Amino acid sequence: MPVLKNISFLATCRDEGAQGDLHSIRDAALAWDDSQITWVGREVDLSGEYPGADQLDAGGRLVIPGLVDCHTHLAFAGWRTEEFVQRALGKSYLEIAQSGGGIMRTVCLTREADPQTLLKHCRGVLDQMVELGVTAVECKSGYGLDLETELKILSIYRDLNGSHPVRIASTYLGAHVVPAEFKGNRSDYLDLVCSEVIPAVSQADLASFCDVFVEESAFSLDEARQVFAAGRKHGLRPKVHADQLSSGGGAELAAEVDAVSADHLECASDAGIEKMAEAGTVAVALPLASLYLNQVQLQVRKLINGGVRVAVATDFNPGSSPSFHLPLGMTLLCVGSQMTPAEALKAATIYAAKAMEMDGITGSIEEGKLADFAIIDAPDPDHWLYHFRPNACTGTFVGGRQVWGQGA
Ligand SMILES: [Zn+2]
């Protein structure tokens, strides 16, 4: 039975209290048995409890729950470097999409890609996420948009869930954009999503959630309602890409359909925020996407003051967020969103776990939860996010097993 000692600051990140309440313990220790946490407290209170335990030393560092990246588009083929350059030269995201770039470009490449290549790409990214302290990831499909490729992508996530230490929750995002072959024929595409793909995904038990990109250039509120109703019928809970580029009632819709989370929200209305608070919908901030699109960062104070829990994720994808660096996203929230480091840490752990319905097993350091945690080379969360470095994580544990760092 292992015990981790010499923790200068243990951020337990329990759900209770406000966004900034980390429920931290100074000079702490942590013990676990197989995969579950059995004891958390001050090291002085540990004496005699675990005499024969394996003793591990945190070196006076910060220990946090394993980070949770609750919004990624992990499986795709091909990067879109040239669009990054085009945007630097002044082209907008929409202009690029209209000239053959954007999501449809990735869809074409992903349809052609063989599963082994996609699997290798995903595995490579997850390995690097683990080095940053990430232990759970939500993965969306949506770069296939036909039955065959959507099932191909979701099957890769299922394979990874059994073979990679990171915990994965899968989301079917058929309603990402209307694919080129259905242009001018939107209702036929929605029929395919609702009557063929959703039942097939559910039948094969390949996803927990379904997501819709609600935006002027993507899907309307009514179209989203149709997809969510079909999803519900087949056991897929709603998540929404809402109000990213324009205020379109996405936050209100998320509350109406009892979505697990509403993500982006840069342009969400006050009424929408109020409804989200009433419904208990988690807001997911995606600061790396705002950075790459040179958008003003989500103003989280309105959400937090309104009683909405705010999570943070990378939105990792080849277009608007080609980075999977969650700690960078957390620092960006402090700089551009007036969020404190403590609030950003709860956003990347327990609230992110809530946004993918894994908060019952991970996202906080408590007795009975899985021993998913990371050792960070900093005295406390404030200093960690202030003194930003490429990687301050020195050890990552999933289910009590060290998967990265010295000794892994
Ligand atoms: Zn996204």
User: Is-contact 38 367, C-beta < 8 A?
Assistant: yes
121 C-alpha vs ligand 1 centroid, how far in Å?
18
Instruction: Give backbone dihedrals phi and psi of 352, rounded to 5 degrees, phi first.
Output: -65, -40
Give the residue from 262, 176, 310, 305 showing the smallest Cα distance to 253. Answer: 262
CA of 257 to the centre of ligand 1 (A): 19
pLDDT at position 59 is 96
Task: Tell me the β-bridge partners of 262.
Answer: 240, 283
Ligand 1 center from residue 282 Cα (angstroms):
15
| Distance from the alpha carbon of residue 166 to the mean position of ligand 1, in angstroms | 20
DSSP collapsed to 3 states, 9-29: EEECCCCCCCCCCCCEEEEEE
Tell me the CA–centroid distance for residue 263 and ligand 1, in Å: 8
Phi, psi dihedrals of residue 188, rounded to the nearest 5°:
-65, -35
Angle 7-11-12 from CA coordinates, rounded to 5°: 110
The pLDDT tens digits along the chain (408 residues) read: 899 999 999 999 999 999 999 999 999 999 999 999 999 999 999 877 676 668 899 999 999 999 999 999 999 999 999 999 999 999 987 888 888 899 999 999 999 999 999 999 999 999 999 999 999 999 999 999 999 999 999 999 999 998 999 999 999 999 999 999 998 999 999 999 999 999 999 999 999 999 999 988 889 999 999 999 999 999 999 999 999 888 889 999 999 999 999 999 999 999 999 999 999 999 999 999 999 999 999 999 999 999 999 999 999 999 999 999 999 999 999 999 999 999 999 999 999 999 999 999 999 999 999 999 999 999 999 999 999 999 999 999 999 999 999 877
- 163-189: b or e for each residue (b if 16 or more CB lie within 10 Å)? ebbbbbbbbbbbbbbbbeebeeeeeeb
CA 98/CA 217 separation, integer angstroms: 10
Say how many Å lie between the CA of residue 208 and the centre of ligand 1: 16
pLDDT of residue 1: 85
Cα 344 to averaged position of ligand 1 atoms, centre (Å): 19
Residues with Cβ–ion distance below 5 A, ligand 1: 315
Q: Is 390 helix (H, G, I), strand (E, B) or coil?
A: coil
CA of 244 to the centre of ligand 1 (A): 10
CA of 213 to the centre of ligand 1 (A): 8
Res 49: pLDDT: 67
- In this prediction, residue 216 carries a pLDDT of 85
Question: Quick count: other Cβ atoms within 10 Å of Cβ 296?
Answer: 10
CA dist., res. 252 & res. 270, Å (int) = 10
- The whole-angstrom separation of Cα 307 and Cα 369 is 26
Q: What is the pTM of this model?
A: 0.97
Question: Across the strands, what pairs with 37?
Answer: 32
User: Looking at residue 406, what is its pLDDT?
Assistant: 80
**Cα 44 to chain center, whole Å?**
36
Q: What angle do CA 249, 76, 189 make, to 5 degrees?
A: 50
Q: What share of the chain is helix, strand, coil (3-state, %, to 5)?
A: 40, 25, 35
